Amino acid sequence: MVAVTARTIVKRFGATEVLRGVDVHVPDGGFAVLVGPSGCGKSTLLRLLAGLEEVTAGEIRFGERDVTRLAPRDRDIAMVFQSYALYPHLTVRDNLAFGLNLRKTDAATVASRVAEVSAMLGLEHLLDRLPRALSGGQRQRVAMGRAIVRRPQLFLFDEPLSNLDAALRAQVRVEIRKLHDQLGATSVYVTHDQVEAMTLADRIFVLNRGVVEQVGPPREVYEHPRTRFVAGFLGSPA
Ligand code: ADP
Ligand code: MG
Protein backbone atom coordinates (compact mmCIF):
# COMPACT_ATOMS: atom_id res chain seq x y z
CA MET A 1 0.00 0.00 0.00
CA VAL A 2 1.07 3.52 -0.63
CA ALA A 3 -0.23 6.99 0.18
CA VAL A 4 -0.59 9.50 -2.66
CA THR A 5 0.19 13.16 -2.17
CA ALA A 6 -0.05 15.79 -4.88
CA ARG A 7 0.91 19.29 -3.76
CA THR A 8 -0.13 22.55 -5.43
CA ILE A 9 -0.30 20.99 -8.86
CA VAL A 10 -0.41 23.40 -11.77
CA LYS A 11 -0.80 22.21 -15.35
CA ARG A 12 -0.80 24.44 -18.39
CA PHE A 13 -1.25 23.50 -22.01
CA GLY A 14 0.16 26.53 -23.81
CA ALA A 15 -1.67 29.54 -22.41
CA THR A 16 -4.49 27.48 -20.89
CA GLU A 17 -4.20 26.73 -17.18
CA VAL A 18 -6.11 23.48 -16.73
CA LEU A 19 -5.12 22.80 -13.11
CA ARG A 20 -4.64 25.81 -10.87
CA GLY A 21 -3.01 24.66 -7.66
CA VAL A 22 -4.61 21.34 -6.77
CA ASP A 23 -3.87 19.41 -3.57
CA VAL A 24 -4.80 15.75 -3.25
CA HIS A 25 -3.96 13.41 -0.42
CA VAL A 26 -5.06 9.78 -0.37
CA PRO A 27 -3.95 7.75 2.64
CA ASP A 28 -2.64 4.16 2.40
CA GLY A 29 -5.47 1.92 1.28
CA GLY A 30 -7.79 4.86 0.59
CA PHE A 31 -10.33 5.02 -2.23
CA ALA A 32 -10.47 8.60 -3.54
CA VAL A 33 -12.85 9.75 -6.23
CA LEU A 34 -12.19 12.86 -8.30
CA VAL A 35 -15.57 14.09 -9.45
CA GLY A 36 -16.63 17.09 -11.49
CA PRO A 37 -18.15 18.16 -14.80
CA SER A 38 -16.64 17.38 -18.16
CA GLY A 39 -13.56 19.50 -18.91
CA CYS A 40 -12.75 20.41 -15.27
CA GLY A 41 -9.37 18.66 -15.39
CA LYS A 42 -10.00 15.21 -13.89
CA SER A 43 -8.26 13.18 -16.59
CA THR A 44 -5.37 15.61 -16.69
CA LEU A 45 -4.84 15.21 -12.95
CA LEU A 46 -4.94 11.42 -13.25
CA ARG A 47 -2.49 11.47 -16.17
CA LEU A 48 -0.13 13.56 -14.07
CA LEU A 49 -0.33 10.97 -11.28
CA ALA A 50 0.40 8.27 -13.87
CA GLY A 51 3.32 10.19 -15.34
CA LEU A 52 1.70 10.41 -18.78
CA GLU A 53 1.94 14.20 -18.59
CA GLU A 54 4.46 16.38 -16.79
CA VAL A 55 3.40 18.89 -14.14
CA THR A 56 3.99 22.57 -14.87
CA ALA A 57 4.51 23.12 -11.14
CA GLY A 58 3.97 21.14 -7.96
CA GLU A 59 5.08 17.84 -6.51
CA ILE A 60 3.79 14.26 -6.51
CA ARG A 61 4.74 11.71 -3.85
CA PHE A 62 3.87 8.03 -3.52
CA GLY A 63 4.60 7.26 0.10
CA GLU A 64 8.07 8.62 0.76
CA ARG A 65 9.05 8.58 -2.92
CA ASP A 66 9.11 11.77 -4.96
CA VAL A 67 7.80 10.53 -8.32
CA THR A 68 7.24 13.93 -9.91
CA ARG A 69 9.82 13.35 -12.66
CA LEU A 70 9.58 9.55 -12.93
CA ALA A 71 8.46 7.77 -16.12
CA PRO A 72 5.15 5.85 -15.92
CA ARG A 73 6.82 2.43 -15.85
CA ASP A 74 8.83 3.40 -12.75
CA ARG A 75 5.77 4.44 -10.75
CA ASP A 76 4.32 0.99 -9.96
CA ILE A 77 0.77 1.89 -10.96
CA ALA A 78 -2.05 0.29 -12.88
CA MET A 79 -4.35 2.36 -15.03
CA VAL A 80 -7.84 1.36 -16.15
CA PHE A 81 -9.47 3.50 -18.83
CA GLN A 82 -12.97 3.66 -20.28
CA SER A 83 -11.73 2.11 -23.52
CA TYR A 84 -10.54 -1.39 -22.77
CA ALA A 85 -7.45 -1.25 -25.00
CA LEU A 86 -7.09 -5.04 -25.15
CA TYR A 87 -4.85 -6.55 -27.80
CA PRO A 88 -7.36 -7.84 -30.37
CA HIS A 89 -5.11 -10.61 -31.72
CA LEU A 90 -4.26 -12.04 -28.28
CA THR A 91 -6.40 -14.41 -26.23
CA VAL A 92 -7.65 -13.39 -22.81
CA ARG A 93 -4.84 -15.47 -21.27
CA ASP A 94 -2.18 -13.70 -23.33
CA ASN A 95 -3.74 -10.29 -22.71
CA LEU A 96 -3.54 -11.00 -18.97
CA ALA A 97 0.03 -12.26 -19.24
CA PHE A 98 1.19 -9.39 -21.41
CA GLY A 99 2.18 -6.98 -18.64
CA LEU A 100 4.22 -9.69 -16.95
CA ASN A 101 5.90 -11.04 -20.10
CA LEU A 102 7.23 -7.60 -20.87
CA ARG A 103 9.16 -7.80 -17.62
CA LYS A 104 10.62 -11.23 -18.40
CA THR A 105 8.75 -13.01 -15.64
CA ASP A 106 9.30 -16.80 -15.63
CA ALA A 107 6.57 -19.02 -17.13
CA ALA A 108 5.48 -20.64 -13.86
CA THR A 109 4.93 -17.27 -12.19
CA VAL A 110 3.03 -15.98 -15.23
CA ALA A 111 0.75 -19.04 -15.18
CA SER A 112 0.01 -18.79 -11.47
CA ARG A 113 -0.63 -15.01 -11.59
CA VAL A 114 -2.96 -15.42 -14.57
CA ALA A 115 -4.81 -18.21 -12.73
CA GLU A 116 -5.11 -16.11 -9.58
CA VAL A 117 -6.42 -13.04 -11.40
CA SER A 118 -8.87 -14.93 -13.60
CA ALA A 119 -10.31 -16.66 -10.53
CA MET A 120 -10.69 -13.30 -8.82
CA LEU A 121 -12.56 -11.85 -11.79
CA GLY A 122 -14.48 -14.95 -12.93
CA LEU A 123 -12.61 -15.22 -16.23
CA GLU A 124 -11.46 -18.85 -15.99
CA HIS A 125 -13.80 -20.11 -18.71
CA LEU A 126 -12.85 -17.30 -21.11
CA LEU A 127 -9.07 -17.66 -21.17
CA ASP A 128 -8.82 -19.03 -24.72
CA ARG A 129 -11.16 -16.48 -26.28
CA LEU A 130 -10.22 -13.44 -28.31
CA PRO A 131 -11.50 -10.04 -27.12
CA ARG A 132 -14.03 -9.78 -29.97
CA ALA A 133 -15.83 -12.86 -28.56
CA LEU A 134 -16.43 -11.15 -25.19
CA SER A 135 -19.20 -8.89 -23.93
CA GLY A 136 -18.43 -5.32 -22.85
CA GLY A 137 -18.44 -6.25 -19.18
CA GLN A 138 -16.14 -9.22 -19.76
CA ARG A 139 -13.72 -7.02 -21.70
CA GLN A 140 -13.64 -4.47 -18.94
CA ARG A 141 -12.92 -7.30 -16.50
CA VAL A 142 -9.99 -8.47 -18.64
CA ALA A 143 -8.69 -4.89 -18.72
CA MET A 144 -8.85 -4.81 -14.93
CA GLY A 145 -7.20 -8.21 -14.75
CA ARG A 146 -4.37 -7.00 -16.89
CA ALA A 147 -3.93 -4.05 -14.56
CA ILE A 148 -3.87 -6.11 -11.36
CA VAL A 149 -1.76 -9.03 -12.57
CA ARG A 150 1.40 -7.06 -11.77
CA ARG A 151 0.15 -6.42 -8.23
CA PRO A 152 0.63 -2.67 -8.39
CA GLN A 153 0.31 -0.60 -5.24
CA LEU A 154 -1.79 2.08 -6.80
CA PHE A 155 -4.80 1.95 -9.11
CA LEU A 156 -5.81 4.84 -11.33
CA PHE A 157 -9.26 4.59 -12.92
CA ASP A 158 -10.50 6.99 -15.59
CA GLU A 159 -14.26 6.58 -16.05
CA PRO A 160 -13.87 2.80 -16.40
CA LEU A 161 -17.63 2.16 -16.51
CA SER A 162 -18.75 4.70 -19.06
CA ASN A 163 -18.89 2.21 -21.96
CA LEU A 164 -21.08 -0.25 -20.05
CA ASP A 165 -24.87 -0.32 -19.88
CA ALA A 166 -26.57 0.67 -16.63
CA ALA A 167 -27.02 -2.80 -15.12
CA LEU A 168 -23.44 -3.83 -15.81
CA ARG A 169 -22.16 -0.53 -14.54
CA ALA A 170 -23.60 -1.19 -11.11
CA GLN A 171 -22.18 -4.72 -11.06
CA VAL A 172 -18.65 -3.83 -12.20
CA ARG A 173 -18.65 -0.88 -9.80
CA VAL A 174 -19.19 -3.24 -6.88
CA GLU A 175 -16.45 -5.54 -8.24
CA ILE A 176 -13.98 -2.69 -8.48
CA ARG A 177 -14.52 -1.74 -4.86
CA LYS A 178 -14.25 -5.39 -3.79
CA LEU A 179 -10.97 -5.84 -5.67
CA HIS A 180 -9.58 -2.69 -4.12
CA ASP A 181 -10.42 -4.00 -0.66
CA GLN A 182 -9.13 -7.53 -1.38
CA LEU A 183 -5.83 -6.31 -2.79
CA GLY A 184 -5.31 -3.71 -0.09
CA ALA A 185 -4.57 -1.22 -2.86
CA THR A 186 -4.81 2.55 -2.90
CA SER A 187 -7.14 3.87 -5.62
CA VAL A 188 -7.81 7.16 -7.36
CA TYR A 189 -10.94 7.03 -9.46
CA VAL A 190 -12.18 9.67 -11.90
CA THR A 191 -15.83 10.09 -12.84
CA HIS A 192 -18.38 12.74 -13.74
CA ASP A 193 -21.11 10.51 -12.26
CA GLN A 194 -22.32 11.60 -8.81
CA VAL A 195 -23.79 8.19 -7.94
CA GLU A 196 -20.51 6.41 -8.70
CA ALA A 197 -18.64 8.93 -6.60
CA MET A 198 -21.02 8.66 -3.65
CA THR A 199 -21.05 4.86 -3.59
CA LEU A 200 -17.35 4.13 -4.24
CA ALA A 201 -15.40 6.73 -2.34
CA ASP A 202 -13.97 6.98 1.14
CA ARG A 203 -13.27 10.55 0.21
CA ILE A 204 -14.39 12.67 -2.71
CA PHE A 205 -12.62 15.62 -4.31
CA VAL A 206 -15.05 17.89 -6.15
CA LEU A 207 -13.24 19.65 -9.00
CA ASN A 208 -14.43 22.70 -10.85
CA ARG A 209 -12.41 24.56 -13.48
CA GLY A 210 -9.07 23.31 -12.31
CA VAL A 211 -9.49 23.74 -8.56
CA VAL A 212 -10.70 21.44 -5.77
CA GLU A 213 -13.84 23.07 -4.39
CA GLN A 214 -14.35 20.62 -1.55
CA VAL A 215 -12.88 17.43 -0.07
CA GLY A 216 -14.38 15.02 2.41
CA PRO A 217 -16.29 11.82 3.02
CA PRO A 218 -19.08 11.63 0.41
CA ARG A 219 -21.97 11.96 2.88
CA GLU A 220 -20.47 14.95 4.58
CA VAL A 221 -19.80 16.76 1.30
CA TYR A 222 -23.30 15.94 0.08
CA GLU A 223 -24.99 17.11 3.27
CA HIS A 224 -22.76 20.13 3.89
CA PRO A 225 -21.69 21.52 0.52
CA ARG A 226 -19.44 24.53 0.97
CA THR A 227 -20.23 26.19 -2.34
CA ARG A 228 -23.23 26.57 -4.56
CA PHE A 229 -21.37 24.70 -7.27
CA VAL A 230 -20.83 21.63 -5.05
CA ALA A 231 -24.49 21.65 -3.93
CA GLY A 232 -25.71 21.92 -7.50
CA PHE A 233 -23.36 19.29 -8.84
CA LEU A 234 -24.11 16.69 -6.17
CA GLY A 235 -27.81 17.55 -6.00
CA SER A 236 -27.56 18.25 -2.26
CA PRO A 237 -30.73 18.95 -0.27
CA ALA A 238 -31.46 22.69 -0.11
P1 ADP B 1 -12.08 16.03 -17.73
O2 ADP B 1 -11.38 14.72 -17.69
O3 ADP B 1 -12.46 16.55 -16.39
O4 ADP B 1 -13.26 16.02 -18.65
P5 ADP B 1 -9.64 16.94 -19.00
O6 ADP B 1 -8.61 16.83 -17.94
O7 ADP B 1 -9.67 15.91 -20.05
O8 ADP B 1 -11.08 17.12 -18.33
O9 ADP B 1 -9.47 18.35 -19.73
C10 ADP B 1 -9.43 19.57 -19.03
C11 ADP B 1 -9.15 20.69 -20.00
O12 ADP B 1 -7.82 20.58 -20.50
C13 ADP B 1 -10.07 20.70 -21.21
O14 ADP B 1 -10.41 22.02 -21.49
C15 ADP B 1 -9.21 20.10 -22.29
O16 ADP B 1 -9.57 20.59 -23.55
C17 ADP B 1 -7.81 20.55 -21.90
N18 ADP B 1 -6.77 19.62 -22.34
C19 ADP B 1 -6.60 18.34 -21.93
N20 ADP B 1 -5.54 17.77 -22.52
C21 ADP B 1 -5.00 18.70 -23.34
C22 ADP B 1 -3.88 18.74 -24.22
N23 ADP B 1 -3.06 17.67 -24.36
N24 ADP B 1 -3.64 19.89 -24.88
C25 ADP B 1 -4.43 20.96 -24.72
N26 ADP B 1 -5.51 21.00 -23.91
C27 ADP B 1 -5.80 19.90 -23.21
MG1 MG C 1 -11.84 12.88 -18.62
ipTM: 0.98
Cα of 141 vs centre of ligand 2, distance in Å, is 20
In this predicted structure, what is the pLDDT of residue 27?
A: 97
41 lines ligand 1 (CB under 6 A): yes
b/e map 18-35, b = 16+ CB within 10 Å: bbeebebebeebbbbbbb
User: Which pLDDT score, from 0 to 100, does residue 40 have?
Assistant: 97
Contact 52, 74 (CB under 8 A): no
**pTM for this entry:** 0.91
Q: What are the average pLDDT values for consecutive 10-residue runs of the chain, which has 238 residues?
A: 94 97 97 97 97 97 96 88 84 91 82 91 94 91 87 90 84 88 93 94 97 98 97 90
Q: What is the dihedral of CA 87, 89, 91, 92, to 10 degrees?
A: 20
Q: How far is it, in rounded angstroms, from Cα 79 to Cα 67?
A: 16
pLDDT at 13: 97
Could you tell which of 18, 83, 205 is best to mutate to test the pocket of ligand 1, judged by most ligand atoms within 8 Å of the CB?
Answer: 18
- Residue 39 CA to residue 129 CA, distance in Å, equals 37
Q: Which of the ligands is closest to the CA of residue 207?
A: 1
pLDDT of residue 45: 98
The C-alpha angle 167, 151, 35, rounded to 5 degrees, equals: 45
Q: Are 19 and 175 in contact (CB under 8 A)?
A: no
First to last CA, the chain: 39
Pick the closest to residue 209 from 194, 193, 230, 189 (CA basis).
230
Helices 107-121, 92-101: axis angle to 10 degrees equals 130
106 CA distance to ligand 2 centroid (A)? 37
User: What is the three-class DSSP state of 59?
Assistant: strand
Question: Ligand 1 centroid to 39 CA: how many Å?
Answer: 6
b or e along 46-61 (b: 16 or more beta carbons within 10 Å of the residue's beta carbon)? bbbbbbebebeebebb
* Predicted local confidence at residue 166, as pLDDT: 85
Q: What is the pLDDT of residue 225?
A: 97
Find out whether 82 and 28 touch, Cβ atoms under 8 Å.
no
Question: How many other CB atoms are found less than 10 A from the CB of residue 90?
Answer: 14
